């Protein structure tokens, strides 16, 4: 179960990073 939890956490982190990057990009533009 630890592996599944880790994968889910990683996916969530990636989504957060993408959102942050998108926000930064919008600010740059």
DSSP conformation letters of 7-26: HHHHHHHHHHHHHHHHHHHH
* Residue 28 vs residues 4, 5, 22, 23, 25: alpha-carbon distances, Å: 36, 35, 10, 9, 5
Task: In whole angstroms, give the CA distance from residue 5 to residue 9.
Answer: 6
For the whole prediction, is pTM greater than 0.95? no
pLDDT tens string, the chain, 29 residues long: the values are: 678 777 777 787 778 788 887 767 666 65
What pLDDT was estimated at residue 28? 61
């Amino acid at each position: 179960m630890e592996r599944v939890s880790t994968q889910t956490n990683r996916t969530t982190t990636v989504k957060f990073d993408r959102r942050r990057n998108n926000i930064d990009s919008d600010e740059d533009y």
